[in-house]
Amino acid sequence: MAVNRSPLWFRISCFLLLLFAVLLFVLSLGGAIYAPPISQALIPTLLVGIGLGVLVFAGYFHFVWRKQRASDSASHDANRKLTSVFQHVLDGILILDDAGVCLDCNPAACALLGVSPDNLVGQPIMRFHAGPEEFAHNWKTFLVHRYQRGRTQLKRADGKTLFVDYAIAANSLPGRHLMVLCDTTERKKAEASLRESEERLHLMTDNIQEVVWVMDANSKELLFVNPAYETVTGFSSAALHADRLSYQQMIHPEDRELVLKKLDEAAATGQFDEEFRIVRADGAVRWIWSRTFPSKHADQLASWLVGIAADITARKQAEAAAEAAHAETEALRKSTFALTQNLSMDAVLDTLLACLFDLVPYDSASVILAEDEIRLFVAREAPKQPGMRPFVTLETTESPLLQRVLVERKAVSIPDTSQESGWRQIKPLAGNRCWMGVPLMTAKGMFGLLSIGASTPRRFTPEHLRLAKSMAAPAAAAIYNVRLYERAEIYASELEHYIDELKQTQKQLENTRGREAS
């Protein structure tokens, strides 16, 4: 540490005052010896002046001396504080010469490098650097610029690696350079651990099919989405980053109000679990299931909403297909049950057309039965026409399409009759723009067909055709059974008539024999 000395102005002032007092004393002494008697009167005056000068000098010296003592005391206190800071600061402090050799160090520097002061002082700091060439380059740069700040890697005396932030200031004292070392090893480890966690998170989010999203709970802006966002929605992440509320426009208009309302509620509850539809960039409608993760602090309002969104269109389609299959099965069960409950042809035909409408939304339909291979007749029409309608008969040659159904025994579907060359506007086919013909046949053969029509083209889908064919099987069996029953009733009636005639003949014969015997 530097030794405290009196200021230069104080030393010069004392020297001038002392020189002035000596000069006065010499003049007064010379005047007393050589001066004539007349000038002897000046001697007391000079003595008084000398005394006053001494008194003034003494007062001035006392004042300056007190200031110097106060300055020395303050300097001493500052030195004590500086020494205390130097010894107790948590960061390592080294004083180096121009060659990078350690001249002094504090305890924190010794603890940081794992050496004692005796083994550190007099040693080049390069000895503790993991990269000596890097240190040599940085030291040359420092000597030119006189200041340097950076990060480097050190090796302790026990071989462990340290990461430190350092700062060097040149000429804290002439030829003395101050280096401060701050240990950042734990922070580096934490940063490395955080970086590894982020890499694992990105590895996971970049390779899953579900959309991972983070939303500002207050503004409802999407702050983060993973690459699956583009796959599921068809919209680019760049467009979302340009307008973080643009996701709201892809929610299906029928679901948008409910979804946004649920998001508002989620800002308070932190809970969001909804299934809704979106409209992709290519116009396709997809079903999405989105939910948030539960908050660890349920008593606090969530500032972020973190969740996932999955495309559940396949599941929804499977559910719809299952529901349709169940509805179809139920409709077929009811229709089969209804068709078998009555053996009246009128009741069976009416029930058949009513149950068919539950499966296929037609505008008109009819049951056409065959009298033989050529002649057909319309057994029932729907909707029923008011009043009595004449019995409609037709021949297969009048309509190539009817003939095709009866000959090939296969269902026929015409999406647009105006574009079908074989279409004929005959009763009961007139007015239909979309038409299906489904054969009615059993193991005993085919005896008719179902004619199903719509007033608009392309009304019926392949699914409608499949349902109509499913309906035709029990309908054909029911009509066949009714026919058998009607024939059985006819045969029974004829048999009863024959029995009555036989009984009457037998009775007449008995009467005749009785008359002959008498």
Over its length of 518 residues, how does the chain's per-residue pLDDT go in tens digits?
Answer: 444 455 566 567 666 766 766 666 666 555 555 555 545 555 566 666 666 666 666 666 666 667 777 777 777 777 788 777 778 888 899 999 999 999 999 999 999 999 999 888 999 998 898 888 888 888 999 988 899 999 898 988 888 888 999 999 998 778 889 999 999 888 888 888 888 877 777 777 777 888 989 999 888 999 988 889 999 999 998 999 999 999 999 999 999 999 999 998 888 888 899 999 999 999 999 999 999 976 555 555 567 888 899 999 999 988 887 887 777 777 667 666 666 666 677 888 888 888 888 888 899 999 988 877 678 888 888 887 665 556 678 887 888 888 888 888 899 999 999 998 888 888 888 889 999 999 998 877 788 899 999 999 999 999 899 888 888 888 888 888 877 777 777 777 777 877 888 888 888 888 887 777 76
3-state secondary structure of 93: strand
Q: What is the DSSP letter of 156?
A: -
Is the entire prediction scored with pTM above 0.85?
no
Q: Cα separation of 276 and 250, whole Å?
A: 11
Provide Rg for the chain, Cα atoms.
Answer: 58
CB 370 within 8 A of CB 376: yes
Strand partners, 376: 370, 394
Euclidean distance between CA atoms 353 and 229, whole angstroms: 49
Which residue blocks in 228-312 are alpha helix, DSSP H?
228-233, 237-242, 247-250, 253-269
Q: What is the DSSP string of 446-490?
A: EEEEEEEEESSTT---HHHHHHHHHHHHHHHHHHHHHHHHHHHHH
Q: Is 139 exposed, middle or buried (0-12, 13-18, 19+ CB in 10 A)?
A: buried
E-assigned strand segments in 118-246: 147-155, 161-173, 176-183, 211-216, 222-225
Show the CA angle centred on residue 466, arms to residues 460 and 468, nearest 5°: 75
Other CB atoms closer than 10 Å to residue 437's CB: what's the count?
A: 23
Q: What angle do CA 86, 91, 92 make, to 5 degrees?
A: 70
Rounded Cα distance, 260 and 251, in Å: 9
Cis link prior to 132 (omega < 30° from 0)? no
* Six token digits for residue 196: 């590894």
Topology annotation, domain 331-484: Beta-Lactamase (3.30.450)
Going from N- to C-terminal start, the domains of the chain cover 8-86, 90-188, 211-311, 331-484
Q: Angle at the Cα of 389 (from 386 to 390), degrees rounded to 5?
A: 175
Say which CATH architecture domain 211-311 belongs to: 2-Layer Sandwich (3.30)
CA atoms within 13 A on the CB side of 367: 23
CA distance 314 to 321: 10
Q: What CATH number matches the domain at 90-188, 3.30.1330.30, 3.30.1330.60, 3.30.565.10, 3.30.450.20?
A: 3.30.450.20
- What is the number of H-type helices and E-type strands within the chain? 14, 16
